[in-house]
Structure 1
Amino acid sequence: MTLEKKIAKAFNLEGDAWLKHANPWSIWTRFATLPFIIFSVWSRIWIGWFCLIPISILIIWLIINPTLFNKPKSLDNWGSKSVLGEKYWAERKNVPVPKHHQTPVLILTILQTIGVIILIIGLWKLKINWTIIGMVTVYLSKMWFLDRMVWIFEEMKNQ
């Protein structure tokens, strides 16, 4: 089982749940959560340990979001295709994905990881420049990753 498949399982993304997560409302409301998490973590300087309340709410939101919305009326949009491409990628052990996607996806995953590390350091040390650089790196590499997932979806949809 791939790491992505394990992560998908942790978010209850199995079977029809992928279609619910392919709803643009699910995709974009989840995608927009990062600044709120950053603000919640940063708020520890103003509200102390009470910052754990919004952080907890946001983590719960990230967990339930993929299954909260209805299946979309159409899958003919960039966001839905990106989620379904992620499904193909997560299940690549069962249905192989073309090899030319492996290296770019690995590079983009590494970039996202680097962005998360920079972001965490920025939040830990309360360094606004590190926090912003980390967030921008995470967002840009995630968008590029999702665009690659659209490409995977387009190549795999007829299989």
Structure 2
Amino acid sequence: MSVLKRYAQAAGMTDEAWKRHANPWSVWTRFAAIPLMIAAIWSREWIGWWALVPVGLVVVWLALNPHVFPAVEQPDSWTARGIYGEKLWLRDRSLVTGDHRSVQRLLIAVGVAGFALLIWGLIALEPWPTVFGATLITIGQLWRIDRLGQLYLAHQKASRE
């Protein structure tokens, strides 16, 4: 079992949780958590160990997020199709073929580079790697959602034929 599948199981990602996570409010509030987490970690400079309180609040929110919004039964929005596609991809990696697989690998590399820059920036309290890393992560995730949404649409079309 892959690391991502294990994480999804540990996070309680049941079919119902995936439908709730497909709600656009779930997706966009997770993106909103990126600058909140950055600010929470950066706040260690001002409030010391008390920074763990806002960090903990963001972590709790990220854990609860896929479970608190109404379920999306019909993925009509861009974000919902992307999350439904992510669920498909986690269940069967062979659905991603050809160019989609190459782009998926590129997006993983962009995300890893962004994460490394973000961590460096947060440790050193340097603005440019922090902002650049967060930007790479965000762009990579948005592109990934788009590609997984295309995967979902292609899968739906193939299952109707």
Does TM, normalized by the shorter one, top 0.5?
A: yes
1:118 maps to 2:117: yes
- Give the match for residue 148 of structure 1: 147
- Give the match for residue 133 of structure 2: 134
2:97 corresponds to which of 90, 99, 111: 99
Give the conservation status (yes or no) of the 8 Å contact 1:20–1:66. Answer: yes
1:79 maps to 2:79: yes
- Give the match for residue 11 of structure 1: 11
Q: Report Cα offsets for 1:24-65 as digits up to 9, x if no partner.
A: 111111121000000000011100000000000100111111
Give the conservation status (yes or no) of the 8 Å contact 2:89–2:96. Answer: no
Mark the runs of 5 or more structure 2 residues left unpaired by the alignment: none
Deviation at 1:73, TM superposition (A): 6.2
Give percent identity, aligned residues only. 33
In the TM superposition, structure 1's runs of 4+ consecutive aligned residues that sit over 3 Å from their partners are none
Give the conservation status (yes or no) of the 8 Å contact 1:2–1:91. Answer: no
Q: Report Cα offsets for 1:69-110 as digits up to 9, x if no partner.
A: 1113642110100100100110015xx304122221111011
Aligned pair count? 157
TM normalised by structure 1 equals: 0.93
TM normalised by structure 2 equals: 0.92
Q: 62-71 or 32-41: which moved more?
A: 62-71
RMSD: 1.4
Q: Report Cα offsets for 1:105-134 as digits up to 9, x if no partner.
A: 111011101101100000000110111111
Deviation at 1:3, TM superposition (A): 2.6
